[in-house]
Structure 1
Amino acid sequence: MPNPPYPHNLTRAERKHLETFDERDFEVFTHADWARLGESHTQNIRVHWPDGHYTDGIDQHTADLAAMFVWAPDTRIHSHPLRVAKDELTCVTGVMQGTFTRPMPDGKSGFIQPTAKKYAINMATVGIWNRRGTMDEEFPFWDNQTFYGQIGLG
């Protein structure tokens, strides 16, 4: 789905937050350009993950994002069909896609062999921004049961 125009009547800061979010997903995330993550995230970012745990700090967030590309190097987000901004809050939706083509670390010193299955899961991310134009807190959401089912692990 192509990206729709930005909502009308945004403040300059709200529009900038959404533009930064687009750049983060379409360029930084999709191309695994982790050196640029600081353009959208503070050094002490808190990220609340879909499974309920949270992490603190850009280094841990970078490691978590990079881990997704170990087993699905074609992971990507190409559109935000819904974008909402109000003051320091933003929310975007999209579809995260990829293919399980490389061994996935299982967290127990082993690996899950690739299934070569593609995935395309609906996602949403809520961000809380500061006056410097970076996120202090991020809440990515997707359905892990659907995700694991699509890659053949559910």
Structure 2
Amino acid sequence: MKTKLNFTKAVMAILLVLTVTNFSLAQKSKNEYKAEVEQLKSELAKIAETNEVIAKNLATFDELDFVVFTNEEWARLHESHAEDILVHWPDGSTTTGIERHIEDLKKMFVYAPDTRIKEHPIKIGSGNLTAVMGVMEGTFTKPMPIGDGKFIDPTGKAFKINMVTIGLWDDKGVMYEEYLFWDNLTYMTQLGLAN
């Protein structure tokens, strides 16, 4: 009986020590948890702010392709592009400046005046970067200038190709660098200019 009583006292003493220890740990942890929760709230607020910027940039890009590009509203290109934008083209060439970019874009409409982008099946962003897949389509209905006053006669063929634009955005919500990707062989084949 005495052994049982000593065992019971020992268990009670251990439980008391554990309870006191847990209480002091809980108090310490409560303060630590509060600090961690505040830190997490701060980090979540930053993520939410970043996501708002990404969503705004993607909405600007939708407007760029669906309205500005498709309707050739070149005077509005500055809404999405910096004056000194660096543009990387699918053929590996680069250009600098919004005016040069506008001239290059206009050339696409000379031989296919119905060129358009009406859908973005994939849109993603991270930080100051967006990546958008668009579907560019149109019809080769007008002569295509090839230099020295020479032209390629229209084939009347329609094209529909996937293209990707990667944009780097500044804190004013305009792209300062743009990467354009599409398969030029597929494009030329659909135009009837390659096999």
| Range of TM-score over shorter length | over 0.9
- Structure 1 counterpart SS, 2:76: helix
Deviations 1:52-109 (A, max 9, x none): 0000000000000011001100000001010001110000001100000000001232
Q: Name the structure 2 match of 1:18.
A: 58
Q: Name the structure 2 match of 1:130.
A: 170
Pick the structure with more strand per residue: 1
Q: Which runs of 4+ in 1 moved over 2 A?
A: none
Q: Name the structure 1 match of 2:136.
A: 96
Q: Whose radius of gyration is greater, 1 or 2? A: 2
Matched, 1:141 2:141: no
Q: How does 1:1-154 map to 2 (within 5 A)?
A: 11-154=51-194
Q: Structure 1 CA distance, aligned partners of 2:180 and 2:68?
A: 16
Q: Structure 2 CA distance, aligned partners of 1:10 and 1:142?
A: 29
Pick the structure with more helix per residue: 2
Q: Structure 2 CA distance, aligned partners of 1:30 and 1:151?
A: 19
Q: Structure 2 CA distance, aligned partners of 1:129 and 1:54?
A: 18
Q: Please state how far the C-alpha of 1:39 moved relative to its aligned partner.
A: 0.2
Preserved CA contact (<8 Å) 2:50 2:127: no
> Structure 2 vs 1, CA of residues 126 and 103 (structure 1 numbering), >3 Å: closer, same or farther?
same
- Structure 2 counterpart SS, 1:61: helix
Q: Which has the higher contact order (CA 8 A, sep 6+)?
A: 1
- TM-score w.r.t. the length of structure 1 is 0.93
User: Pairwise CA RMSD of aligned residues?
Assistant: 1.3
Q: Name the structure 1 match of 2:13.
A: none
Q: Structure 2 CA distance, aligned partners of 1:111 and 1:117?
A: 16
Q: Structure 1 CA distance, aligned partners of 2:193 and 2:82?
A: 34
How many residues were matched structurally?
Answer: 147
- TM-score w.r.t. the length of structure 2 is 0.73
Q: Name the aligned partner's letter for residue 85 of structure 1.
A: G
Task: Give structure 1 stretches of 5+ with no counterpart.
Answer: 1-7
